[in-house]
Amino acid sequence: MPDSLRIGKAAEVLRVSPDTVRRLIDAGRIQTVRTAGGQRRIDRAALARYMAAQPRQAPPVVVSESARNRFQGIVTRVAKDGVAAVVEMQAGPHRIVSLMTRDAADELGLKPGVLAVASVKSTNVVIELPRA
């Protein structure tokens, strides 16, 4: 099931415990599908919708990080025109938006539900795919 995540991976993306993810599933807030073996998997696009619907948290008053920051998250929206693409992703409480060429977004296969890493340096945001 390439378009789904294990509960532990979803917990990592959400920055919560696997038990919290199970509670969200049981409450009907996150959709799952069952594998042939009966394991619950979380649909990536459903997880993206859940994350995009969460209220935005205020960033910390003081951030003590290096100039180069990497945020693992999930793509929530991709808007493309003839040349450019606007890619939005949610990384924990952070909404990240990147403007890139349409070709780059197509080559990366970016769409809602794709796990990605935003690499931020100054005003440039680069979307990368994590190693499998």
Among the ranges given (4-8, 31-35, 119-123), the one the predictor scored with the smallest mean pLDDT: 119-123
Give pLDDT, residue 18.
Answer: 94
Q: Average pLDDT, whole number, for the chain? A: 86
Q: How far apart are CA 29 and CA 23, in angstroms?
A: 9
Q: Cα torsion at 18, 57, 118, 7 (round to 10°)?
A: 10
Give pLDDT, residue 63.
Answer: 47
Long-range contacts of 27-36 (CB under 8 A, 24+ apart): 33/1, 33/4, 35/1
DSSP H or E run through 76: strand 68-80
Give pLDDT, residue 1.
Answer: 63
Give pLDDT, residue 57.
Answer: 65
pTM score, whole prediction: 0.59
Q: How far apart are CA 84 and CA 72, in angstroms?
A: 23
